[in-house]
Amino acid sequence: MEQTPKLRFDKVDMVFFRPNQPPVQVLKSISFDVGAGEFVCLLGPSGCGKSTILNIAAGLIRPSAGTVTAGSRLVTGPGWDRGVVFQEYALFPWLTVRENVVLGAKSGAGKVDHVRFDHFLGVTTGMYAHKDKLPKELSGGMKQRAAIARTLANDPEIILMDEPFGALDPYTREALQDQLVEIWSASRKTIMFVTHSVEEAAYLAGVVILLKAHPGELKAVIRNETRWPRERASEELIGIERAIRRVERT
């Protein structure tokens, strides 16, 4: 029996309407599946609708046409089954790291499990030593670790990440990529990750969904079967990068 995908986009269009200006079609007939436990990267040029796809999956905006399902449920708004990590860290500046991480649970109906939250701050993201600091006292990489800990601590089935490492220096970016891979390997959460970087997509993803712009349409689905642990400079991974770039040029 075929397993229900964790996310399914079915003929999704997105048109933005503006006062006294022509409407802008951002997405056109987008259809793809994300399987349970898959790490999928959305890759494409600026303006191809990658972040729009992620926001639709998160339930933050509704598509103009088509449907999105998470498991067997139609996505009509945000849900606890989907956690979002934004490029901008979205931490409240007046709260400590630990208070920011716990905040999501406090806004729900369940009891806060402080032991579990401390686990995600400590073992999973290495932020326990910084739990009492304010965001202004943290580096960019630390802020993003705190944002990831907050998302993970709510135990979503699907993690949606919108260029979370785009603003970081190359060294910190690679370190957080490796940490994210460790988290994914241990949890086998379903991850959909937006990026502009071919190298990042080739390193992280099991599936690369390549988009073309104006309007955003599905160009190709490229499967990356490179085994873990992956070496960034390996011939196998460089071959995946070349394959992606060949499709980009067509």
Which of 140, 155, 170 is where one domain is finished?
155
Length of the chain: 250
Q: Domain ends where: 102, 125, 155? A: 155
Domain shared by 77 and 164, yes or no:
yes
Domain assignment present for 127: yes
Q: Same structural domain for residues 171 and 225?
A: yes
Task: Identify which has the larger pLDDT, 109 or 60.
Answer: 60
| Residue pair 157/81 in contact by the 8 Å Cβ criterion | yes
100 pLDDT band, cuts 50/70/90, is confident
Domain that holds residue 98: 92-155
Residues 243 and 231 in one domain: yes
Report the chain's terminal Cα–Cα distance, integer Å.
36
pLDDT at 108: 52
Residue 86 falls within a domain, yes or no?
no
- Residue 113 domain-assigned? yes
Count of domains forming the chain:
2
Q: Which residue has the higher pLDDT, 104 or 116?
A: 116
CA 140 to CA 146: how far, in whole Å?
10
Q: Is residue 97 part of a domain?
A: yes
pTM: 0.92
Please name the residues in contact with 125: beta carbons below 8 A apart, sequence gap of 6 or more: 145, 146, 148, 149, 152, 179, 183
